[in-house]
Amino acid sequence: MIIEPRMRGFICLTAHPKGCEQNVKNQIEYIKSKGAIEGAKKVLVIGASTGFGLASRITSAFGSGAATIGVFFEKPPLEGKTASPGWYNSAAFENEAHKAGLYAKSINGDAFSNEVKQQTLDLIKKDLGQVDLVIYSLASPVRLHPVTGVLHRSVLKPIGSTFTNKTVDFHSGKVSEVSIEPCSGDDIENTIAVMGGEDWAMWIDALKAENLLAPGATTVAYSYIGPSLTEAVYRKGTIGRAKDHLEATAFTITDSLEDINGKAYVSVNKALVTQASSAIPVIPLYISLLYKIMKEEGIHEGCIEQIQRLYQQRLYTGSDVPTDEKGRIRIDDWEMRADVQEKVAKLWEQAVTENLEEIGDLEGYRKDFYNLFGFDFEGVDYKADTNEMVNVSSIA
């Protein structure tokens, strides 16, 4: 079929298999161009199919020659209906890994469930024995709690009072004012249940209980802080409470791994265009201004550049992992540079519909958004008849 982007609001309903393949190949090429990293050799990535998790899987495999098991929750294709992008990304990743002689298997299902955890433990036991790195990179709006059976929904809302600020519809470029009502009821607890650290700890406990963590094993989860501009809706909002919980969980996990000399870290990453971040009001305007400044300064990074730097310059330097005063690894350091933030804040004051194309990087934002779904890549013939029925080889 001829596959074109079909947008509905902040999501795209279609994905292009060849474009997703190109995306994965580009990331692999980038990692190879940066040279070998003395990193972990047996790696489990939870949330491995898109964004930071996919970049982590690629960096482990093609930077360190690691065997990888990837867990994700993606929609396979149906005749005439494309798969979700993470499905096509994972198909392409496995193909490239296998061509390079690397072990790569994937599990598609709900990582919050006991069943998927058990399936993953069984696979590690059978094929790898133990893992020495566990990346936890889930981003989900819901979690069915495996013990209580409660379905928790996360919300992206301020706490205490209504937050009003500018936002942009990145499709039309229209800048407008948006008001977000504060959270209510159990919103904070629910958001912590979905995006906090409980499930991360459950994974690590389950792996350790079956002796599947190698001595000295490391686990890393991803967080975000961001500037004062977005604070009310992000870091001081409901999602920020979940990130506080995730960051606190790193310490309890580290304590629980003391006997095997293991360590849990949270890495604070930079703001990037993903399906989740596009849906948060205010954030797309911030990102389009941030991209403009960071590109001008020559310090712009995507997921793959971020994770390459995380591995090579933070996790696997051969000496202690550098952290901030709260024990977090910081690869949002360039985003948070005072000069970058001052410039973004100035542009924020000026931004209106009429000047945003010029003072912001709306074009870069849109391109990144299309890229998430495998569109707008050089070297892909989007007019060609394309087979949507692609298998992930280890799942097929």
Instruction: Summarize the annotated binding site as residue ranges.
Output: 47-52, 73-74, 110-111, 138-139, 224, 243, 272-274
Tell which one of 12, 14, 52, 219 touches ligand NAD (CB under 6 A).
Answer: 52
If the CB atoms of residues 18 and 243 are measured against ligand NAD, the closer one turns out to be 243
Tell which one of 222, 316, 365, 373 touches ligand NAD (CB under 6 A).
Answer: 222
If the CB atoms of residues 27 and 275 are measured against ligand NAD, the closer one turns out to be 275
Residues 332 and 293: their CA atoms lie apart, in Å, by: 14
Q: Minimum distance from CB of 385 to ligand NAD (Å)?
A: 28
Q: Which stretch binds ligand NAD (CB under 6 A): 44-52, 179-187, 314-322, 340-348?
A: 44-52
Q: Where are the alpha helices (DSSP H) in the chain?
A: 17-33, 51-64, 85-99, 114-123, 187-195, 198-209, 228-231, 238-256, 275-278, 283-296, 303-310, 338-350, 356-359, 362-372
> In Å, how far are 167, 171, 220, 362, 377 from 311, measured between CA atoms?
34, 34, 11, 30, 26
- DSSP secondary structure letter of residue 257: T
If the CB atoms of residues 95 and 275 are measured against ligand NAD, the closer one turns out to be 275
Q: How many residues does the chain have?
A: 396
Q: What is the DSSP string of 129-185?
A: S-EEEEEE----SEEE-TTT--EEE-----SSS-EEEEEEETTTTEEEEEEEPPP-T
Q: Which of 30, 88, 234, 265 is catalytic?
A: 234
Q: Minimum distance from CB of 61 to ligand NAD (Å)?
A: 15
Q: Which stretch binds ligand NAD (CB under 6 A): 48-56, 212-220, 363-371, 379-387?
A: 48-56
* Residues 84-123: x where in contact with ligand NAD by CB under 6 A, - otherwise, as a string: --x-----------------------xxx-----------
Q: Which of helix, strand or coil describes residue 265?
A: strand
If the CB atoms of residues 73 and 88 are measured against ligand NAD, the closer one turns out to be 73
Other CB atoms closer than 10 Å to residue 355's CB: what's the count?
A: 12
Q: Minimum distance from CB of 242 to ligand NAD (Å)?
A: 9
To the query of whether residue 291 is one of the catalytic residues in this protein, the response is: no
Q: Please, which of residues 242-281 interact with ligand NAD by CB under 6 A?
A: 269, 271-272, 274-277
* Residues 284-323: x where in contact with ligand NAD by CB under 6 A, - otherwise, as a string: ----------------------------------------
Nearest CA among 140, 12, 132, 134 for reference residue 73: 140
Residue 224 is a binding residue for ligand NAD (CB under 6 A): yes
If the CB atoms of residues 22 and 275 are measured against ligand NAD, the closer one turns out to be 275
Q: Can you read off the two tokens belonging to residue 1? A: 């079929």
* Residues 360-389: x where in contact with ligand NAD by CB under 6 A, - otherwise, as a string: ------------------------------
Tell which one of 22, 27, 49, 64 touches ligand NAD (CB under 6 A).
Answer: 49
Q: Minimum distance from CB of 319 to ligand NAD (Å)?
A: 25
What is the Cα Rg of the chain in Å? Answer: 20
Tell me the longest C-alpha to C-alpha distance in the chain.
Answer: 60
Residues 52 and 46: their CA atoms lie apart, in Å, by: 11
Residues 254 and 266: their CA atoms lie apart, in Å, by: 11
At 167, the amino acid letter reads: T
Tell which one of 53, 76, 197, 227 touches ligand NAD (CB under 6 A).
Answer: 53
If the CB atoms of residues 19 and 51 are measured against ligand NAD, the closer one turns out to be 51
If the CB atoms of residues 64 and 106 are measured against ligand NAD, the closer one turns out to be 106
Q: Where are the alpha helices (DSSP H) in 71-139?
A: 85-99, 114-123
Q: Can you read off the two tokens belonging to residue 88? A: 């096509």
241-269 b/e with 16+ CB inside 10 Å = b? bbbbbbbebbeebbeebeeeebbbbbbbb
Q: Which residues are annotated as a binding site for substrate?
A: 224
Residues 295 and 286: their CA atoms lie apart, in Å, by: 14
Residue 73 is a binding residue for ligand NAD (CB under 6 A): yes
Q: Minimum distance from CB of 355 to ligand NAD (Å)?
A: 25
Among all residues, which ones are annotated catalytic?
Answer: 234
Residues of this chain that interact with ligand NAD (CB under 6 A) are: 47-53, 71-74, 86, 110-112, 137-140, 222-224, 269, 271-272, 274-277
